[in-house]
Structure 1
């Protein structure tokens, strides 16, 4: 029997753990959060609810075997890897298009826009995975409410953030070139908004279907949905961006007013999406609190774009491998972030770290001995053969033969492993910190982690190419 002590009047309620369900615990948790923490009874309530939630989740969610986690992550990881290869090949092809040669700010826009797309999709996947694991997506009404609210929320975030990231690219380009071209600015803004909103709208339905099917077939959606969320859409986003920019480039010199109309239409739709999001109980809080992580991530990814813009013309083959290292790093850390977030939601009240969770621990503990270290080890070991397969496949598809030098392979593997380990350690600290500060990591953590992954990946890959140049080698043998 489990006893809940009500701190207000001292009443005790008793029930069997097998009879209690997660929704009852959540209801009591909300009541406990509403009470003042100054009373001892409230503290007892919170402690009791935390213990009971952990007990219930151990009943309803059996511990995953390591091989089960590896298998569930491996399949979407490979599929997402194909997407990153495709993104690198597409970027390597379109870099010589007239629109990319004339408007170099597109290279600043690409990493930030891909980061934005991945952040929004992975946050959606993480939110819905957590809600699925908590049992809040069991009825048709719940599912449709989640879908409508989250689609509207992503459209709001994509519209605003895409406009801002285009302004960032234009501003940086103006500073670097020493001049401002209004027509180019309109093209970048229109291309960014069309790409972000269209790709999010289409691919978010795919992500929702993946989460629902994972739940139906008794798989953990945290393992399946988040790896697909970013990289699977990268190739779609780059293809869409390049073709939309090419289309707009064909008439922007003599009919740029049409670009202004396109931007205005998206801005006029924005109040409708805001109203739908605000009317939904599941997405209303995110509408108010989810902006700082997304906008901060855009700034971080923008610095990654600056690195890409500065080295894209210096190193042959850089654009082929840059989406791969960034995509794989983001995929793997998103799995860890989503799993830690779900664990915290299942075992404690927001603002209170469970006894088994420590925020500030040394890197070797976070990656080797902590509660989440098993998944971290699986992800690190999975990254090594995955990176090898993807870079050799990308090289073969792009050049028609296997031509990578041994020096490049060793350098690439070194920087990619460093990137993944740094991201996993940062994820451990960041998510626990956010939970303790009462920020839902499902909405806040992944944008920071994936944008850091883009910046680290692009910078470390540039260092690898600089090292190869210093020893007189190249990426091909």
Structure 2
């Protein structure tokens, strides 16, 4: 009888959530614990070697004779969405986003002939940071709202209204602060090697950056909210379409607004030096107002406190990519037109993956909670690359779909660029081959990092929707710009 009772026992462990629920022959018992798993437990206590790159924890099944393996790469495999459904839902938004990035590349190729881009070369350091705001803010917003939609929090109109207002105000606050910091970083990176500081350039750069970030964030945030609400009502998974659409207009809108505002302020700076000063001051005065409103909104007050380190760190990483872009644009012909496409494709694909993984974890519980102790211990180790990309599990299939979507996407975008770009010579087979290799390396690295980063952030009781995408898109910008520059150096 005891063995039969043991066979009917099912346990759900909510680690770090302080609760164990046990079910035994229809009798349900809830036990509150002060601490289930100590973060500082020795690995030897669980029988895990610290040198293992992939954790496999064996737990007996109901008959006690067979064992199941739980690894980090299989934590997400209970998601039953088929790979071909993911491919169909991702492909069209991904291609639309790609066309937007192609347009952004063509715009960047042309605006570099403007006086403001020729005179204020620090603006090239600023460009990746501002383009990266769609990853820091809009894609993070899309991921947050997609998760809320998938767990049912958008079904009530009152909650939906509060969610929309809070997120719009929060993204405005983050856009102003990050835009201002990005301008200061760009000025510092340009000032140090040149050895002199130009006040006129600083005023134009700061006011252009802050106003561009704010206007772009407001426009894209509104579009994101509309897309997610409509897709939720149409029973389409927002995780698969929201983040690519965020990028479809993001780069083009940002570059267009930056070139327009920057060009205008540069022309009038000698006669109306007070105007860029007033623009910057007005936006900075608005920040305390946005802080107060955000702090009173239950959906974003946690992000207001804990959401700054990812966006600021991502801005710094993107600015490092801007240094590479500044060098490449001035020394390598044709590199500018490919930069938004190379960076954007990787960022879009990894944002879809991170959003999906985060939603899967949110459907299990709150940050820090796992279904059982094996998942918790598996989350402490780096995943096995083979099982991420080559396994037959559903999560691995989705990862392969996202990786290989880069090939037809990039081939299409490169062909369009070769036909429309005025500063690009005839493309060779060698260039296309090296370009595709660089793109696949970038996307593969990003997908692997996403698999580890999402579960790492979750284990430390942070929301991956607010943390992961800024880091991933910024790393994608740095990798993409560096790899693209290497390709042009190899063929030059």
Shorter-chain TM-score category?
0.7 to 0.9
Is the contact between residue 18 and residue 35 of structure 2 (CA under 8 Å) also seen in structure 1? no
Is the contact between residue 293 and residue 447 of structure 1 (CA under 8 Å) also seen in structure 2? yes
- State the distance in 1 between where 2:20 and 2:202 align: 64
The residue number in structure 1 matching 2:455 is 432
Match of 2:110 among 71, 86, 93: 93
Matched, 1:365 2:387: yes
The residue number in structure 1 matching 2:413 is 390
Q: How does 1:8-407 map to 2 (within 5 A)?
A: 36-37=34-35, 63-354=80-371, 355=374, 358=379, 359-369=381-391, 372-399=395-422, 403-407=426-430
> Which protein, 1 or 2, shows the higher relative CO under an 8 Å CA cutoff with sep ≥ 6?
2
Is the contact between residue 109 and residue 423 of structure 2 (CA under 8 Å) also seen in structure 1? no
Is the contact between residue 118 and residue 233 of structure 1 (CA under 8 Å) also seen in structure 2? no
- Displacement of 1:39: 10
Is the contact between residue 66 and residue 374 of structure 1 (CA under 8 Å) also seen in structure 2? yes
- State the distance in 1 between where 2:398 and 2:232 align: 20
Is the contact between residue 458 and residue 464 of structure 2 (CA under 8 Å) also seen in structure 1? yes
The residue number in structure 2 matching 1:48 is none
Size of the alignment, in residue pairs?
434
Is the contact between residue 13 and residue 370 of structure 2 (CA under 8 Å) also seen in structure 1? no
Is the contact between residue 156 and residue 270 of structure 1 (CA under 8 Å) also seen in structure 2? yes
1:248-269 residue CA offsets vs partner (Å, 9 max, x unmatched):
0111123211111111111111
- Displacement of 1:402: 8.9
Is the contact between residue 353 and residue 435 of structure 1 (CA under 8 Å) also seen in structure 2? no
- State the distance in 1 between where 2:99 and 2:287 align: 34
1:264-323 residue CA offsets vs partner (Å, 9 max, x unmatched):
111111111111111100100000000000000011000000000011121111001111
Matched, 1:418 2:441: yes
- State the distance in 1 between where 2:218 and 2:118 align: 29
SS at match of 2:97: helix
Runs of 4+ in 1 over 6 A off after TM superposition: 1-14
- Displacement of 1:175: 0.8
Q: TM-score, normalised on structure 1? A: 0.86
Could you tell me which runs of 5 or more consecutive residues in structure 2 were left unpaired when the two chains were aligned: 1-7, 39-77
SS at match of 2:299: coil
The residue number in structure 1 matching 2:62 is none
From the superposition, tell whether residues 147 and 434 of structure 1 become closer, same or farther in structure 2 (CA, over 3 Å). Answer: same
Q: TM-score, normalised on structure 2? A: 0.83
- Displacement of 1:230: 2.8
